[in-house]
Each structure stands twice: as structure tokens, then as C-alpha cells.
């Protein structure tokens, strides 16, 4: 019997050794030596960088803060008037539609058989969040400072500048080009919804949509080469919902304690969800693609593990949830409790108490199944479930499409041989609404930023480099000018030459 056990163990160890050798060989083959980045000719954009910076500064100085329940559109229309003054050719040439404060421009293309493309970036911003000159639009230290520089007036400025330049050069795009800018994205408003409703009513389907999300980020993950800039292209964003859980009782006075009060049941329920979330962990295709792309540029331990998900995937599905944060959110739906309400008096047992959770959903466990999992556990504690608001996870962008591969090519043509990685957006954007009329909705702005600049979007000291803004103008100009519609594109994102 002992001999049989030893034989089995020997076989298992042998198999494990073979698998590790295969993984090591695969890891060695993955290693990508970074080629010198060919410097794209950015001189024509960089020479005008001070003009672009000044225009963005003026945009920042219009405090287009969106607030729930506030219908005052004064600053929104002040912003409309500003960009009309800054971009006269655009306003003289493109069709403009004002949709209750949201803007939609149409630039007629030369080939009506091509599906249009749409570039978008919202004009509203969040509150200053402190006393730091959020709306001064200061230009110093090679950067433009202020609320909206990153989120997302910087990208909007680059889009408008590129169109103004191309019009000055007499360029007509091959396809119709739309520019959309909503006025209430920061409060999950209806600006983008109304814009999509309008386009859908016109029978318009889009070939490509580009919105905020990913960017050109320096070393976006631990274990990457130092100061390596990676183009993070968002191909999917999670769904989300606000869900209220309520426990009831007959109430009473705190001097006569009862067992299983509403708050006690809610506490037990919250503790159960926190300790043992009822969600499946899975490496969906976009997440696999992200880790595979990143692994090529990581140091050995990270490259070895993330580059061999076929071997280490099951182990990572056990480890990543314990790490929490982004690591867990990439592979599972999530539920975090953010609000609580009980009685109005410290000596009163409430007849009703509640907690509210913000839930986020992945494609392998969508909104309905995710909420049902949590609601089933809630019922065990005699707690009811109510969906306050929410929307399901959208379908991922088609990464095999011409449009996706064209964007990859434009990134490389503009910024050189840099790593490009798809990724899953954990936050929400206006672009999710456009999945109704487009199969390739990408969340990417061509702005080179540090992790600190990305994190400053809703914080103190939000800023964007002047050179980064200028290069983004060049990217959008090339994207529009060189778009010729679906053709055969190589897997690396380069257009194949016709024989």
C-alpha cells in the first residue's frame, strides 16, 4: 500500500515538474525586449502647445460643476459660448445640436457607406473638494492645473483642437464624425442617454466610440518595468446598482432589550457578506488579455505567474479575493455597504432599519444573478431587498473588429512601440449607453499621465502636462484624417499592405 502511495506521489510530482518546466519555457518566450521608441513627428503639435494649454485653462475657469437636484444651467451655457469663441471653424462647419445642455456635433464625411465614428468627453466636473484654486486654470511647472484637466476637459479640448486644425487644412473625413459632450456625467445624468436616444431615432449605428477611461499610464501595475508607459484601453465597464436591505420589527424601548433586533440582524447579514461574498471568481476574456499583455513587461515572478494563467489561475482565484481592492474587483462582482439608517433616538429599538450597498457586476455573473445571490442570504436574516437604481454590465468591445485594431495602430503610429493592454473599467462612464448603437465602444484617452495624475481626477491638485495635451491633439487629428473604414488589419494592429 505504501509503495502504491509513493508511486502516485512520484507521478504527481513528475507531472508538476513537467508543468513548471512548460511554464518556465513559456515565460522565457514571452519576454519582450523593449525597442527604442521611434519619436513620432510631434513638432507641429508641440509648437502650438501653449495655445492648447491656454484654451484648456479657459475651459477650467468655467466651473461646470454638476450637482444632483440643481437645474441651473448657467455655467453649462457659459461653457458653450466659450468653445464657440475658441473654435470658430468647427462651429461654422459642423452641424450642432444642443440636447438640453449636452452637445452633439456632426462632421459630414465623404463616404456615406461607412459607419460614423464618435469621439466623446463630458464637460461637467465634480466639486473642488478643498481650497486649492480648482477653477483658476493655472499653468505652471509644465502642467495645466484645475478641476477637469484630467476628468475630462483635457480630452475634450484635444478633440476640439484637432477638428479645428483639420478644418483649417481643408480636410474632409472619410466617414461622418460625431463629437459628443454631456453636461451631467458626474451625477450619472441623462445627457448621454438623450444623445443616444436621438442618434438611435435617426437610425444611426456607429463603428467606433471613444470616451474616457484608460490612458497612457506610467507603470500601471506592480512588478512592471520602471517608468514604462502603457496604453490602457478599456474594453468593458462593470455594471452597478444601489441596493437597499431592510429589517423590520415591532420596535420597543432600549430598556427592555429584544433578541434579533433589526440592527442585530443587519449586522450579522453585513458580516456574512463581508466575510464570505457569494460571487463567482473568473478570469473573463478581457481580464485574461490584460494580464497576458502586461506580463510581457513585468519582472520574472509576476511574469511567471500572470503569464501562465492556465497553470496558476485556480491559485490566483483563491489569493486575489483575499487581497481585496482592484485585484478582487477584476475577477468578480462586488458588494460594499455604504449607508445605514436606524432609529432617531439612542434609546429606541427601531421598527425599521436598513443598510444600502453599492454593487458592481461582471459579465460572468450579471446584475440579476448577483443581486439574487445576496438577496437569498438576506432572507435568512428576515431582511428584504430593494433595488434603488442600477444597470447591468455592458457587452465588451469587439477586439477583433477593424475599429479596435485601427485604434491600436493609431496609438503606435503616434506614440511608438509601446505596450498596449485592454482592461476592465471598474467605474462608470457615459460610454456604456452607446453600446446600444455600437459594437466597439472604447474607454481610452491619448493622454500621457502618471498614476498620481490619474488619481488626482476627483482630488486635490488635478493636473495635466502641457506636452501630453499637445500630443493628444496629434493623436485625434491622425485618427480622424487617416480613418478609411474596414480593411484587413494585422493582429498587431497594423494595416496590411495590399499586394
Of 273, 271, 247, whose CA–CA distance to 261 is shortest? 247
Residue 289 burial (CB count, 10 A): 18
Which CATH number describes the domain made up of 239-391?
A: 3.30.70.360
pLDDT reported for residue 496: 47
Does the pLDDT of residue 34 top 60, yes or no? no
pLDDT reported for residue 417: 86
Provide the residue ranges of all domains of the chain, joining segments of one domain with +. Answer: 43-236+396-482, 239-391
Residue 462's SS3 state is coil
Q: Which of 13-17, 72-76, 294-298: highest mean pLDDT?
A: 72-76
Q: What angle do CA 399, 37, 285 make, to 5 degrees?
A: 20
pLDDT reported for residue 228: 87
- Tell me the CB-side half-sphere exposure of residue 160, using CA atoms within 13 A: 31
Fold (CATH) for 43-236+396-482: Aminopeptidase (3.40.630)
Residue 401's SS3 state is coil
Give the tens place of pLDDT for each residue, 329-341: 999 999 999 999 9
Does the pLDDT of residue 9 top 90, yes or no? no
Give the tens place of pLDDT for each residue, 383-393: 999 999 999 99
Q: Are 157 and 70 in contact (CB under 8 A)?
A: no
CA 204 – CA 193 distance, rounded (Å): 15
pLDDT reported for residue 307: 87
Query: 58 burial class (0-12, 13-18, 19+ CB within 10 angstroms)?
Result: middle
Assign 26 a pLDDT band (cuts: 50, 70, 90). low
Q: What is the mean pLDDT of residues 452-457?
A: 93
Assign 31 a pLDDT band (cuts: 50, 70, 90). low
Q: Are 306 and 295 in contact (CB under 8 A)?
A: yes
pLDDT reported for residue 38: 57
Does the pLDDT of residue 370 top 80, yes or no? yes
DSSP 120-165: E----B----SSS-TTS--EETTEEESTTTTTTHHHHHHHHHHHHH
Residue 260's SS3 state is coil
Same fold for the domain at 43-236+396-482 and the one at 239-391? no
Amino acid at each position: 500500500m505504501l509503495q502504491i502511495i509513493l508511486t502516485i506521489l512520484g507521478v504527481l510530482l513528475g507531472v508538476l515538474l513537467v508543468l513548471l518546466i512548460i511554464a518556465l519555457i513559456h515565460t522565457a518566450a514571452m519576454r519582450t525586449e523593449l525597442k527604442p521608441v521611434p519619436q513620432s513627428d510631434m513638432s507641429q503639435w508641440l509648437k502650438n502647445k501653449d495655445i492648447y494649454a491656454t484654451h484648456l485653462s479657459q475651459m477650467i475657469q468655467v466651473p461646470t460643476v454638476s450637482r444632483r437636484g440643481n437645474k441651473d444651467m448657467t455655467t453649462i451655457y457659459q461653457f458653450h459660448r466659450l468653445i464657440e469663441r475658441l473654435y470658430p471653424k468647427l462651429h461654422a462647419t459642423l452641424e450642432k445640436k444642443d440636447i438640453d445642455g449636452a452637445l452633439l456635433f456632426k462632421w459630414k464625411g465623404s463616404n456615406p457607406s461607412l459607419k460614423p465614428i464618435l469621439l466623446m468627453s463630458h464637460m461637467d466636473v465634480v466639486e473642488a473638494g478643498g481650497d486649492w484654486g480648482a477653477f483658476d486654470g493655472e499653468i505652471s511647472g509644465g502642467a495645466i492645473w484645475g478641476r477637469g484637466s484630467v476628468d475630462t476637459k483635457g480630452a475634450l479640448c484635444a478633440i476640439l483642437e484637432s477638428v479645428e486644425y483639420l478644418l483649417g487644412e481643408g480636410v474632409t473625413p472619410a466617414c461622418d464624425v460625431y463629437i459628443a459632450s454631456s453636461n451631467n456625467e458626474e451625477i450619472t445624468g441623462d445627457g448621454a442617454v438623450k444623445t443616444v436616444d436621438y442618434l438611435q431615432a435617426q437610425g444611426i449605428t456607429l463603428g467606433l466610440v471613444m470616451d474616457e477611461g484608460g490612458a497612457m499610464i506610467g507603470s500601471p501595475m506592480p512588478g512592471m518595468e520602471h517608468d514604462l508607459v502603457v496604453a490602457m484601453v478599456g474594453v468593458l465597464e462593470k455594471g452597478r446598482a444601489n441596493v437597499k436591505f431592510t429589517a423590520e420589527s415591532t420596535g420597543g424601548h432600549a430598556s427592555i432589550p429584544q433578541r434579533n433586533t433589526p440592527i442585530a440582524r443587519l449586522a450579522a447579514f453585513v458580516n456574512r457578506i463581508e466575510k464570505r461574498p457569494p460571487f463567482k471568481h473568473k478570469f473573463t476574456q478581457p481580464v485574461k488579455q490584460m494580464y497576458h499583455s502586461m506580463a510581457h513587461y513585468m519582472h520574472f515572478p509576476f511574469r511567471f505567474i500572470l503569464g501562465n494563467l492556465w497553470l496558476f489561475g485556480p491559485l490566483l482565484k483563491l489569493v486575489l479575493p483575499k487581497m481585496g481592492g482592484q485585484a478582487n474587483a477584476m475577477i468578480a462582482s462586488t458588494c460594499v455597504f455604504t449607508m445605514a439608517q436606524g432609529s432617531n433616538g439612542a434609546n429606541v429599538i427601531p421598527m425599521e432599519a436598513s443598510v444600502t450597498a453599492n454593487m458592481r457586476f461582471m459579465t460572468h455573473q450579471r446584475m440579476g444573478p448577483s443581486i439574487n445571490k445576496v438577496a437569498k442570504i438576506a432572507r435568512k436574516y428576515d431582511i428584504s431587498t430593494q433595488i434603488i437604481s442600477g444597470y447591468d454590465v455592458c457587452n465588451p468591445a469587439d477586439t477583433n473588429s477593424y475599429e479596435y485594431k485601427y485604434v491600436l495602430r493609431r496609438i503606435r503610429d503616434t506614440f511608438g512601440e509601446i505596450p498596449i493592454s485592454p482592461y476592465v473599467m471598474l467605474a462608470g462612464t457615459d460610454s456604456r449607453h452607446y453600446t446600444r448603437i455600437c459594437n466597439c465602444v472604447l474607454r481610452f484617452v491619448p493622454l500621457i499621465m502618471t498614476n498620481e495624475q490619474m488619481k488626482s481626477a476627483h482630488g486635490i491638485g488635478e493636473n495635466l502636462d502641457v506636452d501630453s495635451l499637445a500630443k493628444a491633439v496629434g493623436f485625434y487629428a491622425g485618427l480622424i484624417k487617416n480613418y478609411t473604414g474596414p480593411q484587413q488589419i494585422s493582429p498587431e494592429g497594423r494595416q496590411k499592405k495590399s499586394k
